[in-house]
Amino acid sequence: METVSKPTAAPGVLAVRPVGTTAVLAELSGLHDVLALQALLMEQPLPGQVDVLAAAETVMVKADSPAAARRMAGLLLDMDLTVQAHAEGKLVVIETVYDGEDVAEVARLTGLGVDGVIAAHSGQVWTVAFAGFAPGFGYMVGENELLEVPRRSSPRTAVPAGSVALAGNYSAVYPRKSPGGWQLIGRTSARMWDLGREQPALAAPGDRVQFRAVRELVQVSGTPAAPEAAAARNVEVQSGLRILSPGLQSLVQDLGRPGHGGLGVSAAGALDRSSLRRANRIVGNQPSAAVVETVSGGLRVQAAGDQVLAVAGAPSALTVVTPSGADGTDEEQAGSGEPHQVRTVPMATAFALLDGEILTLGAPERGFRSYLAIRGGLEADAVLGSRSTDTMSGIGPAPLALGQDLAVGSSTESNVVGNPELQPDFPDDGVTVLDIVPGPRDDWFDAAAVASLCTQEWEVTPSSNRVGMRLAGEPLRRSRDGELPSEGTVAGALQIPPEGQPVLFLADHPITGGYPVIGVVVDHQLDLAAQVPIGGRLRFRLASGYGPPSNLPHSPLDKVSN
């Protein structure tokens, strides 16, 4: 679909832009309409609606299919927000000590003096416009613009949890210790994010916030907040797997937790969803059963009790060692010279790992990520309906650790295991081509920049992770000055920071971003993107059925989009 606009100046959605193949971005005239549309969509979801992400001047709607996303454009433009009775959210009072490291600088920048800053901040009601950056981090808009200040020129590497801060027209409270470039004016003991509450976010989008100046903070008594990421627990299990070597990065993953963008929580989940489903299907599990996602080989596990396993994803040598003796020790533990049996098992095929036997995943021959499924699925605490690890927000199980035991669950779907399956081709050291849909902010770049995106090869750098693939190549230059107001984003988005090197967002990406997105990888190719290794090369081309970007009526991209 192309960007479509309202033909008149009537209130409501002004324009709708495609965001890849499974989301659309509605542009509105201001925060009042943003909150009204968000409330309307939450009360009356559109057909196929999965998530709603309100931002400064936009509302992103994620769909469950490309067909649903295409239908949403017309539906959004027809919505009459003037008849929407927008109910005010609850009022949250946050006690604050105004002794932040930057309060004097804010006093200088605004000309209000320290007492004036405190009076201006605590003397107005703030509204949580949208969430982003981290779970519980709400972007609050005030009733006036007296406290408009820029971000710090040099961001801090660690901002303490509970810091009350300002940036631009927004105020916020950091829910956890994290890097940040906002101006710190105070601190609070309020728990902005607590998974032990029915509503984890203390102040959700639409809620109102009143800061109350106090001289000291009263610590909340009672049970501490539930940890966001459950620490790896070394509890012996009767049936499951013991981690003898976790490899580089091994995580518990399932199909993720969509639908919580309004809380600042991304979907997370397996990066290669088709490989996770394949591994689960082979061992007879439900498609969403939790598995181990691991990169670059090196994972080594030992069976506690007899188990049925399957490994899908990046093709690797799978070696099983049957140690001598009944105590399940491996060849290193059993002592030099003691006999043991070694066998290999195929990829994408169910196999037995008997009590005490050890499975080792070798380095991938091609691709990057492998998925180890156990019949019954892995047992782990569900957070917001998912057992997946979100490395950006810290939600979910901690990365697997040496000596950790993983219990087997009961997520079976069939009484029998599946047949061996063929796997797709995985990226090697050649160039992987990914199809993109232009925009939603391709109009921030000229023809030369957009052409450069699709005609050069991009290298995946070592700083890449589950949040995003950082790419290196000839920098892309913007044709527009200024800053883009933060807006919702999706996995597959190609965000262009000021230095011009693209970042391809993956499953753990922040739900909002302030850098323009030049294009979005089509949803069904995200599994392929997840298998491109560090040092691999990417090339982008226009997806079939999508014309040139909006600013290129006769784009040189036409030559490379076949």
220 band by pLDDT with thresholds 50, 70 and 90: low
Q: Is the pLDDT of residue 551 over 80?
A: no
pLDDT of the residue at 84: 55
What SS3 class is residue 119? helix
pLDDT of the residue at 129: 85
Q: Is the pLDDT of residue 8 over 70?
A: no
Question: Between residues 476 and 546, which one has the greater pLDDT?
Answer: 476
Spatial strand order in the sheet of 170-173: 91-96, 208-213, 125-131, 138-141, 170-173, 163-167, 183-187
Contact 345, 360 (CB under 8 A): no
DSSP letters, 416-462, are SPPPP--------SSEEEEEEEE-SSGGGB-HHHHHHHHHS-EEEPT
Determine the Cα–Cα distance for residues 532 and 475; give it in Å rounded to an integer. Answer: 21
What SS3 class is residue 551? coil
Structure tokens at 502: 């693209």
Q: Is the pLDDT of residue 38 over 80?
A: yes
Phi, psi for 71 (deg, rounded to 5): -70, -25
How far is C-alpha 400 from the chain's CA centre?
A: 19
212 band by pLDDT with thresholds 50, 70 and 90: very high
- Give me the mean pLDDT over the 44-57 stretch: 92
Placement of tokens 């049996």 in the chain: 341
- Write down the number of H helices and E strands in the chain: 8, 36
Structure tokens at 243: 């981690």
Specify which residues 199 forms β-bridges with: none
Question: Between residues 205 and 48, which one has the greater pLDDT?
Answer: 48
SS (H, E, C) 226-254: CCCEECCCCCCCCCEEEEEEECCCEEEEC
Name the pTM for this structure: 0.85
Buried b (16+ CB within 10 A) or exposed e, 74-106: eebbebebeebeeeebeebebbbbbebbbbebb
Phi, psi for 94 (deg, rounded to 5): -120, 110
Helix, strand, coil distribution of the chain in percent, nearest 5: 15, 30, 55
CA separation, residue 505 to residues 511, 514, 532, 553, 554 (Å): 10, 13, 14, 27, 28
Placement of tokens 């542009």 in the chain: 27
Q: Determine if residue 520 is left, alpha or beta; phi over 0 gives left, psi from -120 to 50 gives alpha, anything else beta.
A: beta
pLDDT digits (tens, 9 = 90+) for 111-138: 999 999 999 999 999 999 888 888 899 9
pLDDT of the residue at 234: 58
Q: Is the pLDDT of residue 517 over 60?
A: yes
556 band by pLDDT with thresholds 50, 70 and 90: very low
Amino acid code (one letter) for 370:
S
Please report, to the nearest 10 degrees, the dihedral formed by the alpha carbons of residues 467, 469, 470, 471 taken in order: -160
306 band by pLDDT with thresholds 50, 70 and 90: very high
274, containing H or E segment = helix 273-282
pLDDT of the residue at 238: 85
Contact 174, 160 (CB under 8 A): yes
pLDDT digits (tens, 9 = 90+) for 332-389: 444 444 567 999 999 999 999 999 999 999 999 999 999 999 999 999 999 999 999 9
177-181, 385-389, 486-490, 536-540: which has the minimum mean pLDDT? 177-181
pLDDT digits (tens, 9 = 90+) for 445-482: 999 999 999 999 999 999 999 999 999 999 999 998 87
SS (H, E, C) 184-235: EEEECCCCCECCCCCCCECCCCCCEEEEEECCCCCCCCCCCCCCCEECCCCC
Contacts of 199 (CB under 8 A, 6+ apart): none
pLDDT digits (tens, 9 = 90+) for 234-277: 566 789 999 999 998 999 999 999 988 888 899 999 999 999 99
Placement of tokens 């966001």 in the chain: 228
Structure tokens at 498: 């000021």
- Give me the mean pLDDT over the 4-26 stretch: 81
Greatest Cα pair distance in the chain:
84
DSSP classification of residue 181: -
Placement of tokens 């400064």 in the chain: 56
Phi, psi for 110 (deg, rounded to 5): -90, -20
pLDDT of the residue at 225: 45
Determine the Cα–Cα distance for residues 436 and 421; give it in Å rounded to an integer. Answer: 29
Phi, psi for 245 (deg, rounded to 5): -155, 120
Interior angle at CA 328, CA 322 and CA 316, nearest 5: 45
DSSP classification of residue 331: H
Q: Is the pLDDT of residue 560 over 50?
A: no
561 band by pLDDT with thresholds 50, 70 and 90: very low
**How high is the mean pLDDT of the chain?**
88
Q: Is the pLDDT of residue 34 over 60?
A: yes
Shortest CA distance to 267 belongs to which of 400, 371, 388? 388
Amino acid code (one letter) for 326:
A
**Proportion of the chain above pLDDT 90, given as a percent:** 68
Does 440 sit behind a cis peptide bond, omega within 30 degrees of 0 on the bond before it? Answer: yes
Contact 52, 59 (CB under 8 A): yes
pLDDT of the residue at 553: 34
Determine the Cα–Cα distance for residues 268 and 386; give it in Å rounded to an integer. Answer: 9
Phi, psi for 209 (deg, rounded to 5): -130, 130
- Give me the mean pLDDT over the 517-542 stretch: 96
pLDDT of the residue at 227: 46
Determine the Cα–Cα distance for residues 524 and 224; give it in Å rounded to an integer. Answer: 41
Q: Is the pLDDT of residue 76 over 50?
A: yes
425-439, 448-462, 545-559: which has the minimum mean pLDDT? 545-559
Question: Between residues 484 and 347, which one has the greater pLDDT?
Answer: 347
Structure tokens at 521: 């990888």
Structure tokens at 263: 């809380």
Question: Between residues 425 and 555, which one has the greater pLDDT?
Answer: 425
Contact 187, 172 (CB under 8 A): no
